[in-house]
Chains A and B, each alone.
Chain A
Amino acid sequence: MKSLPSHSPKSESWEKILQQQDFESQLNKASDDLPLFEPKTNAWEAITAQLETEKPIIPIWQKLAAAMVLALAIACAWLLLGQKHTTTLDTDLVTEIKNVSIPLEVEKPIIEKKGGTVDTAPHAPPAKDPTPVQINLGIAEVDAPSIALPDIEIPRQDFGKISNPNQVTASTQIKSRHEVDISWGLDRSKLKFKTNFGKPSPDLEAVPKSHTASSKTIQIRFKN
């Protein structure tokens, strides 16, 4: 071996080596050189088996979006069907007003035109509206609110007992108890009036006073 000249390193070389011996720097370097371990040989078979059995995970937002689209489609379909139902007319609930054409031709009043010609054309019936006016009268059942009312007792009065004292009925036309004798040509001094006035009568007792007071008929008996 040839004796080659030796060269001395820089003075700070040792310090640099000591710096590399620092724990943190060694840790950073060794962390990148950590050994790798080999898994078992059947690891892939286990993974494929699990992939075959498991369905791909669908994110929740995709599920939600699909559900919303479905709900929207159902709502649209329902609305369209609902509109179709409303356009179909129920003949029971339709009042149809038709323009009835009267088969009478009203003659147009003769109007003399300036030129001397007479317009005698009959009145044409008014132009019919091709589409009859239809009014859809829907009958809807409405529950009327029930009002709770208190039970009121009406006192029953016997109106039969009330009588009008001025009313004159057949029963009230009772014969008077006064008797008047009228004579002509007789002496006035001999003229006598016989009355039962003041005499108690059993009949009068049964009759109400009001009835006797209202008796206005007087019977006059002529004695000849």
Chain B
Amino acid sequence: MNQIQLDSELIERVIAQDRKAQFQLFEQTKRMVYSLAFRMLDDEDLAHDVLQDTYVQVFQQIRNLKHPEALLSWMRTIAARNAIRKGKKQFQFEKLDQVAEVGEDQFEAWFDGELLDQAIRSLPAGARAVFMLVAVEGHPHQEAAKLLGVSESTSKSQLSYAKKLLKTRIKTLLQA
């Protein structure tokens, strides 16, 4: 993926509240943070709010960061948490027993990141949030459930539901 390499000297300068270093870090990581927020919320304005809150939080709390080498994953977690906070109202989890069975298990198609991104953004908000946290960001179900304020079983069932939906959405997009 879009690997970002951060210089340790740059991180030290950011910790020292050097404004130029902060801007440099922002330039290197703004797409990562904004894309995460935008993909989770599917809303540009909310995503910008999340971006702003995330960087303010990062610059204010970076001196408390115990492992500077984990700065990027720390930033992603802050961004995800802020996105959940912003989109709390829209993150409603459908009861899956009331949802019609979707798609079939067989999948014979090729897709790339661009197509997957479109399919993700077309998912219901709750399922999209779980998919982003677990499948894309790599959080375990327990952590994702805690972040979203749902049970672990809800997180698992929502991920399964999201994947089934993605199959049908990708097929639809390929046929279009």
| A contacts, CB < 8 Å to B | 21-23, 26-27, 30-40, 43-44, 46-48, 50-51, 54, 56-57, 59
The answer on a CB contact under 8 Å between A57 and B60 is yes
Nearest-neighbor residue (CB-CB) of A32 within chain B: B1
B125 → chain A, closest Cβ, in Å?
18
Contact between A33 and B51, CB atoms less than 8 A apart: no
> What's the nearest-Cβ distance from chain A to residue B60, in Å?
5
> In the complex, what residues of A have CB within 8 A of residue B114's CB?
35
Given A44-B23, A47-B26, A57-B61, A23-B167 contact (CB < 8 Å): yes
Docked CA distance A30–B55 (Å) = 27
Question: Which one, A27, A47, A48, A50, contacts B163 given CB within 8 A?
Answer: A27
Q: Are B52 and A35 in contact (CB under 8 A)?
A: no
Query: At the interface, yes or no: B86 with Cβ under 8 Å from chain A?
Result: no
Cβ–Cβ < 8 Å partners of B76 in chain A: none
Question: Which residues of the other chain, B, contact A33 by a CB distance below 8 angstroms?
Answer: 1, 112-113
Interface positions of B (Cβ within 8 A of A): 1-2, 19, 23, 26, 30-32, 34-35, 38-39, 47-48, 51-52, 55-56, 59-61, 64, 107-117, 120, 135-136, 163, 166-167
Bound CA span A132–B23, Å = 78
Is A31 a contact of B111 with CB atoms below 8 Å? Answer: no
**Residue numbers in B under 8 Å from A56 (CB-CB):** 60
> With A38-B31, A40-B48 given, is the CB distance from A30 to B64 under 8 Å?
no
Decide if the interface of chain B is mainly helix, strand, loop or mixed: helix
Give bound CA distance, A26 to B108, whole Å.
Answer: 11
Instruction: Report the bound CA distance from A43 to B22 in whole Å.
Output: 13
Beta-carbon contact of B167 and A46 below 8 Å? no
How near does chain B come to A25, taking the closest CB pair, in angstroms? 11
- The answer to whether A34 and B34 touch (CB under 8 A), given A23-B163, A23-B167, A27-B135, is no
A-B contact pairs, 27 of them (CB 8 A): A21-B108, A22-B107, A23-B163, A26-B111, A27-B116, A30-B113, A31-B1, A31-B135, A31-B136, A33-B112, A33-B113, A34-B35, A34-B39, A34-B117, A35-B35, A35-B113, A36-B35, A37-B31, A38-B31, A43-B30, A43-B51, A44-B26, A47-B52, A48-B19, A51-B59, A51-B60, A56-B60
> Which residues does chain A contribute within 8 Å of B39, judged by CB atoms?
34
CB pair B56–A50 under 8 Å, yes or no, is yes
Which residues of chain B are within 8 angstroms of A23 by Cβ–Cβ distance? Answer: 107, 163, 167
In the bound complex, CA of A40 to CA of B52 (Å): 11
Q: What are the nearest 6 A-B pairs in CB distance?
A: A33-B113, A32-B1, A36-B31, A23-B107, A39-B34, A30-B116
Which residues of the other chain, A, contact B23 by a CB distance below 8 angstroms?
44
With A34-B117, A35-B117, A39-B30 known to touch, is A54 a contact of B60 (CB < 8 Å)? yes
User: Nearest chain A CB to B104's CB is how many angstroms away?
Assistant: 11
Q: Name the one of A34, A36, A38, A48 contacting B136, with C-beta atoms under 8 angstroms.
A: A34
In the assembled complex, how far is the CB of residue A35 from the closest CB belonging to chain B, in whole angstroms? 5
Residues of B within 8 A of A43 (CB): 30, 34, 48, 51-52
Residues of chain A contacted by B26 (CB below 8 angstroms): 44, 47
Closest to B106 in A: A23
B111: which of A30, A38, A46 is its contact (CB, 8 Å)?
A30
* Cβ–Cβ < 8 Å partners of A54 in chain B: 56, 60
Whole-angstrom CA separation of A47 from B22 in the bound complex: 10
